[in-house]
Amino acid sequence: MDESNATCGKRLDSIGVENTEENRRTYRELLVSTPGLGEYISGAILFEETLYQSASNGKKFVDVLNEQGIIPGIKVDKGLVPMAGSNGESWCQGLDGLAQRCAEYYKAGARFAKWRSVVSIPNGPSTIAVRDCAYGLARYAAICQENGLVPIVEPEILLDGEHDIDRTMEVFMDTWAQTFHYLADNKVMFEGILLKPSMVTPGADWKGQKPAPEVIAEYTLKALRRRVPPAVPGIMFLSGGQSELEATLNLNAMNQSPNPWHVSFSYARALQNSVLKTWQGNPANVDAAQKSLLARAKANSDAQLGQYTMDGEAASAAEGMYEKGYTY
């Protein structure tokens, strides 16, 4: 639920619902009030607007989440902007005033934060873009920890491109190496962060055969073991435009043997796609939409235990959600 108002508007537009504050609030209430959600979801990343919103009964969303045992978090970056002098690459803004904002978010009930920076393989990646991604994440993480928030560190390697899985792995390891170098330089406590990476896959426009989940798991875990210290307690994968089914199958494959970290999920589109299609903005569909969310949450909860099966999956779960140059 950390999408900006504009991105949330795209979601609503896909089902013919107008992008108004009340419609955004109504949709987010559907999500946070889903009965039993806390059995499968431990945290929810909120957009600033959502952090201060309330349910229709007047109860703050933060309190609704806490009552379910779901820890509220907050997106703190200010989005991607073009990087001057680059080949269409981006950098993430939001460090100015971050300490003050973190303090206010903590008072409002947030207990962790998220900052998304991206690296584009077809546009480079240039040395300066990777360095900016890594250094920005490190400064953000240090500021969050100073203000009582657990930082989710998200260096996303975009799916854009025709490259193979080996090229993706090369860029992953370079990006993660620099990220942890700068985290250490900024005296970030590794035990007090979570890493939110994308998975090591070929580019979305790769012309070869799509790798099986076992292959994606092998490459991703190999890259993680080579770059991520075991002091980091958790790896929370983003879905990055994969279909709901792909994201779950790949996560399940990564949990077929023990890992140095807890390997789990932090999905947005791969949890909500079926929910939106079921809801359609119709109050009569709220119960069915919440059941859809609960089913996806349970599927991924099972996957982070390595116990997922495809029993009962709908065909719609296999529909891709990739968007070139995706922004929040």
What are φ and ψ of residue 237, in 5° steps? -65, 140
324 belongs to the catalytic site? no
Residues 322 and 271 sit within 8 Å (Cβ to Cβ): no
Q: Which of 255, 239, 254 is nearest to 296 (CA)?
A: 239
Say which of 3, 29, 48, 154 is annotated catalytic: 154
DSSP state of 58: S
Cα–Cα–Cα angle for 47, 262, 314, nearest 5°?
A: 65
Q: Is 154 a catalytic residue?
A: yes
Structure tokens at 236: 């929370």
CA–CA separation, 149 and 301 (whole Å) = 24
Q: Is 125:289 a contact under the CB 8 Å cutoff? A: no
Strands 112-119 and 71-75 come out as parallel
Phi, psi angle pair for 313, to nearest 5°: -70, 135
Helix %, strand %, coil % of the chain (to 5): 45, 15, 40
Helical ranges in the chain per DSSP H:
5-13, 21-32, 48-51, 61-67, 98-107, 127-146, 165-185, 213-227, 244-254, 269-279, 286-303
Check 48, 75, 89, 196 and give the catalytic one: 196
What length does the chain have?
A: 328
Q: What is the 3-state secondary structure (H, E, C) of 248-271?
A: HHHHHHHCCCCCCCEEEECCCHHH
Does the N-terminal peptide bond of residue 125 adopt cis geometry, omega within 30 degrees of 0? yes
Active-site annotation, residues: 154, 196
